Amino acid sequence: FIGPLMENMVIPMMQNIKVPPLPEDLLENIGDIQFDYEEFQKDEEGYMKKFEDKMDKKFGKDFEKQMDEWGKHFEESWDEKRADSIGEAYGKRMEAWGEDFGKRMEAWANEIEKKYDDEGGNYTKTVTKSPHGTSIVIQGSRSSTGNNTNVKKTIIIRLPKNSKTEVNVRHGDLKMAEANNVRANLNYTPFTANSIDGGQTLINVSYAPVVVNVWKQGALNIKYVDNCKIYNVQNINLQANSSDVRIGNVSNQAFLSGSFGDLKIEKVSDGFETLDIRLENTDAKVKVPTGAFSFYFNGNRSTLKYPKSLQLKEAKSSGRVLVKGFNLDNSSNKTVTINSNYSNVTLQ
């Protein structure tokens, strides 16, 4: 794909441009760059540190200064009128080439996916959209007959900040440092993350544990997850089916929906805004904030236990329980709302 781009577009345009000579040691430095993959496999972190130090020495401040001077000379010799005409033509050709390349890349990715599915293999597909374009990474293993091999593969993907990422993993293990606007479908894939952010975040997990340190924003859907632990929640929309969820702290807003599982919230900060919980056939324990908040509970065939310090009033009718009140201040705009069907709720 790159060959036609260079031959038909870049090289002809470059021939019409007068370019000052590049710094003498530039090509020498570029030619001297070698990445030893075997050494990298032995010690990934150690080798990457040495490699990055080497790159800093070759392309550090002195290199930046040389390239700045070269850029000034290039600017002085540049014909603006010619540049505009070349840039316009290049832009049109590049746009057409980009559309064609994108179609080929997507077709190629779909073909690889189909091959893994047909051969009963497992694969990971990652789609990254950033200001620099779109990249698709597919990694997988095919099932083999006659060989009882157990191969573990690790994929390290470094993403630009604010990039949008789509991940589909089956029978793997996904670990992320900081993710923004990630969309993921994970099956039998343990998921661990330090920080999740972005209003477009949507993560679906089934049959595997979930551990997240800080959930800043986004939606999480889990099914048949025995252990879902989120230590700090700022804003989340969580739906859990046949799963057990444990939240360390809610600092702002949490919209939680659970059925056929357990829910435990260990702390709700006094500065929170909204805690909205919908339960069905679920046991829930919530450590309510010590500050002021208003409270509403609507339970059908459900039970509610709460501290005597809360100022609450109950009304019962035909298996339904309505409880309304407040803590400290009945005019507080901070709200805790619980709608419950066939569930047991305990406030602590």
Interval 13-26: pLDDT, tens: 555 555 566 666 65
Band of residue 146 on the pLDDT scale cut at 50, 70, 90 = very low
- Asked whether the predicted pLDDT for residue 55 surpasses 50, the reply is yes
* Predicted model pTM: 0.59
Written as one string, the DSSP assignment of 83-147 is HHHHHHHHHHHHHHHHHHHHHHHHHHHHHHHHHHHHTT-EEEEEEEEETTEEEEEEEEE---SS-
Q: What is the mean pLDDT of residues 119-134?
A: 51
Band of residue 142 on the pLDDT scale cut at 50, 70, 90 = very low
Give the C-alpha separation, 243 to 210, whole Å: 11
What mean pLDDT, rounded, does the chain reach?
77
Between 161 and 190, residue with greater pLDDT: 190
For Cα atoms 328, 334, 337, give the angle at the middle one, nearest 5 degrees: 100
Give the C-alpha separation, 162 to 128, whole Å: 10
Band of residue 144 on the pLDDT scale cut at 50, 70, 90 = very low
For Cα atoms 224, 206, 259, give the angle at the middle one, nearest 5 degrees: 40
Q: What is the mean pLDDT of residues 104-132?
A: 56
Band of residue 133 on the pLDDT scale cut at 50, 70, 90 = very low
Between 78 and 76, residue with greater pLDDT: 76
Give the C-alpha separation, 237 to 211, whole Å: 16
Backbone angles phi, psi at 63, to 5 degrees: -65, -45
- 42: tokens are 């032995």
For Cα atoms 268, 313, 321, give the angle at the middle one, nearest 5 degrees: 85
Lowest pLDDT segment from 39-43, 82-86, 204-208, 297-301: 82-86
- Residue type for 165, please? T
- Asked whether the predicted pLDDT for residue 72 surpasses 80, the reply is no
Name 260's bridge partners: none
Please report, in angstroms and rounded to a whole number, the separation of the first and last CA atoms in the chain. 62
- Asked whether the predicted pLDDT for residue 103 surpasses 90, the reply is no
- Cα Rg for the chain, rounded, in angstroms? 28
Band of residue 175 on the pLDDT scale cut at 50, 70, 90 = confident
Give the C-alpha separation, 102 to 100, whole Å: 5
Q: What is the mean pLDDT of residues 220-228?
A: 95
- Asked whether the predicted pLDDT for residue 194 surpasses 80, the reply is yes
**Of 97, 138, 122, 75, residue with least CA distance to 7:** 97
Residue 330 near residue 342 (C-beta atoms within 8 A): no
C-alpha torsion sign, points 160, 166, 172, 174: positive
**Of 238, 194, 230, 195, residue with least CA distance to 209:** 230
- Asked whether the predicted pLDDT for residue 126 surpasses 60, the reply is no
Q: What is the mean pLDDT of residues 228-239?
A: 97
- Asked whether the predicted pLDDT for residue 130 surpasses 50, the reply is no
Give the C-alpha separation, 343 to 201, whole Å: 29
- pLDDT of the residue at 176: 84
Count of alpha carbons within 13 Å of 225, Cβ hemisphere only?
Answer: 29
Give the C-alpha separation, 119 to 130, whole Å: 32
- pLDDT of the residue at 1: 44
Residue tagged 């089934």 (tokens)? 206
**Of 214, 224, 207, residue with least CA distance to 192:** 214
- Asked whether the predicted pLDDT for residue 84 surpasses 60, the reply is no
pLDDT over 70 for what percent of the chain? 59
**Of 195, 167, 199, residue with least CA distance to 183:** 167
- pLDDT of the residue at 91: 61
- 53: tokens are 């130090």
- Asked whether the predicted pLDDT for residue 49 surpasses 50, the reply is yes
- 84: tokens are 């505009």
Give the C-alpha separation, 118 to 130, whole Å: 31
80, 298, 301 from 317: Cα distances, Å: 82, 11, 10
- 186: tokens are 């994970």
- Asked whether the predicted pLDDT for residue 253 surpasses 60, the reply is yes
Band of residue 131 on the pLDDT scale cut at 50, 70, 90 = very low
